């Protein structure tokens, strides 16, 4: 009998404007991956994609479960997180320069 896979949670999304002195045509996407009990999930691949523009980046969570994408062009993206033993999770993310989401 197969054990049900637990769901991952992605918390703490922050879309912020680019660093001072840079154009506001890009932003940063960052967050923390947690399991259902609230424990961080390390070494998880996180993908950020835009099917229209073809933009794609991948990151791996650190020891605190944190991932970060820098210099992401303004647009709407699909963020996907997949870890062995967990059900994959996806979420739409809009990078709007200086507008926090």
Give the pLDDT of residue 59. Answer: 96
What string of H, E and C letters represents the secondary structure of the chain? CCCCCEECEEEEEEEEECCCCCCCCEEEEEEEEECCCCCECCCCEEEEECCCCCCEEEEECCCCCEEEEEEEECEEEEEEEECCCEECEEEEEEEECCECC
Q: Measuring CA to CA, how many Å separate 61 from each of 30, 67, 96?
A: 10, 5, 23
Give the pLDDT of residue 17. Answer: 39
> Which residue ranges make up each domain of the chain?
6-95
Entry pTM: 0.75
Average pLDDT over residues 32-48: 92
| Token pair listed for 17 | 């404007």
DSSP 21: T
Interval 51-84: pLDDT, tens: 999 999 999 999 999 999 988 999 999 999 988 8
Q: What is the C-alpha to C-alpha distance for residues 97 and 81, in angstroms, rounded to an integer?
A: 23
- CATH number of the domain at 6-95, please? 2.60.40.10
The average confidence (pLDDT) of the chain is 80
């Amino acid at each position: 009998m197969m054990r049900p896979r637990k769901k991952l949670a992605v918390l703490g999304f922050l879309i912020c404007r680019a660093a001072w002195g840079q154009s506001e045509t890009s932003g940063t996407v960052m967050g923390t991956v947690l399991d259902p009990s609230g424990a961080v999930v390390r070494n998880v691949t996180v993908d950020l994609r835009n099917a229209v523009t073809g933009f794609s980046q991948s990151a791996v969570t650190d020891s605190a479960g944190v991932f970060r994408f820098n210099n992401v062009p303004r647009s709407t993206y699909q963020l996907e997180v997949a870890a062995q033993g967990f059900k994959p999770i996806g979420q739409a993310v809009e990078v709007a320069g200086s507008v926090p989401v």
